[in-house]
Amino acid sequence: MSEASTGSVESRRAQLLRGLMEIALLRLLRDQPEYGLEILERLRRDAGLEVAEGTIYPLLHRMEKGGSIRSEWRIDPSGGRRRRYYALTPLGTDELKTLSAEWRQLSSALTNFLEA
């Protein structure tokens, strides 16, 4: 594969991941509030998404501005540092339900198509 086409594949992959990160982030925050670096680590570990640190904070801010998540400063009990924790709002819970249903339908249809 040429260097140009490798870059193109990487670019398409990055665009796809950006679209999936929002639903993964909503799902992650469904259980409990988390702070930025923990969110980043869990998206990588639990969701298998290779997320750059510079990507997560703009997404968090955009989602907070949109009302699907909220944030608050807390003192981290293990280290005494102030950290901004993000939590799902009722709107975010509704968005997660809607996006999850849409994802399942789209994923199923596309899988069927690709395997035909």
- Other CB atoms within 10 Å distance of the CB of residue 86: 24
Q: What is the pTM of this model?
A: 0.82
CA distance to 17, 50, 87, 100, 106, per residue, from 115 (Å): 22, 26, 38, 22, 14
- From 91, 74, 70, 84, select the one nearest 38 (Cα to Cα): 84
The pLDDT, as a whole number, for residue 116 is 86
The pLDDT, as a whole number, for residue 8 is 80
CATH topology of domain 3-115: Arc Repressor Mutant, subunit A (1.10.10)
Output the tens digit of pLDDT for each of the chain's 116 residues. Answer: 555 556 688 777 777 777 789 999 999 999 999 999 999 999 999 999 888 888 899 999 999 999 999 999 998 777 788 999 999 999 999 999 999 999 999 999 999 999 98
